[in-house]
Structure 1
Amino acid sequence: MAHYRASESKREQFRRYLEKAGVLDSLTNVLVALYEETEKPSNALEYPYTAVRRNQLLLKPEFSQTRLELNTLQQKYDQLTEENKELRSRLLQYEPAQDAGTE
């Protein structure tokens, strides 16, 4: 019986360690995400590994900065694309479309 209690104590310590380190929350989030997937992956065992690696990468500061830069550049790209469309339509008002056969 003493061995059983010692084992339970070690288990409880280990559980508290995992909880304090955030492992339980991370695993719970990964399993919830897997549950909510509409198309379940063919290899369910690989899913947690991939999700944890992906989350670790997203939490790194350099990736956070890169994501911010990407969002800024995407907004600038969208703005320039819209401006380009507007300028092309204004240009067509002053220059008639040229036919490919007449030069």
Structure 2
Amino acid sequence: MSNYRPADSKREEFRKYLEKAGVLDTLTKTLVALYEEPEKPNNALDFLKMHLGQAGPDTADVEALRLQVSELQQKVEQLQDENKELKSKVQEQSPEEPAPES
């Protein structure tokens, strides 16, 4: 029987680790969601993957970042247009020297 103690203690340590990290709680909630699903999915593993992968950023954060990206893209376009205008003006001012390309 003494041969089984190290394996049991390692198993218990691992269980405590999973519990402390919140893994057991998350798995339990996901399995309960699958159990309570009125129409069981054809692929239970895909269901679990989909629900376990939901720990991403909040929807509000994603929307805020999308808005920020959109605003920054508009600003870049505006600055590129302004840059072209200024290059054109510089070239008009000094036609003998071509403006450097960047």
Query: Which bracket does the TM-score occupy, shorter chain normalised?
Result: 0.5 to 0.7
**2:19 maps to which residue?**
19
Superposition pairs for residues 1-103 of structure 1, below 5 Å?
1-54=1-54, 56-57=55-56, 60-61=57-58, 63-66=59-62
Is the radius of gyration larger for structure 1 or structure 2?
Answer: 2
Q: Which amino acid aligns with 1:25?
A: D
Distance 1:38 1:20 in 2: 31
Distance 1:52 1:44 in 2: 12
Moved over 6 A (4+): none
Distance 2:39 2:17 in 1: 34
% of aligned pairs identical? 52
Q: String of CA shifts for 1:16-60, please: whole Å, max 9, x gaps.
A: 000000000000000010011111100112211110002x12xx2
Q: CA deviation at 1:4?
A: 0.3
Distance 2:34 2:50 in 1: 11
Give unmatched runs, 5+ long, in structure 1.
69-103
Distance 1:16 1:48 in 2: 22
Distance 2:6 2:37 in 1: 40
**1:100 maps to which residue?**
none
Q: CA RMSD in A?
A: 2.0
**2:98 maps to which residue?**
none
Q: CA deviation at 1:3?
A: 2.1
TM-score of the pair, normalised by structure 2: 0.56
Distance 1:7 1:52 in 2: 29
Q: Which amino acid aligns with 2:4?
A: Y
Structure with greater helix percent? 1
Q: Which amino acid aligns with 1:44?
A: A
3-state SS of 1:24 partner = helix
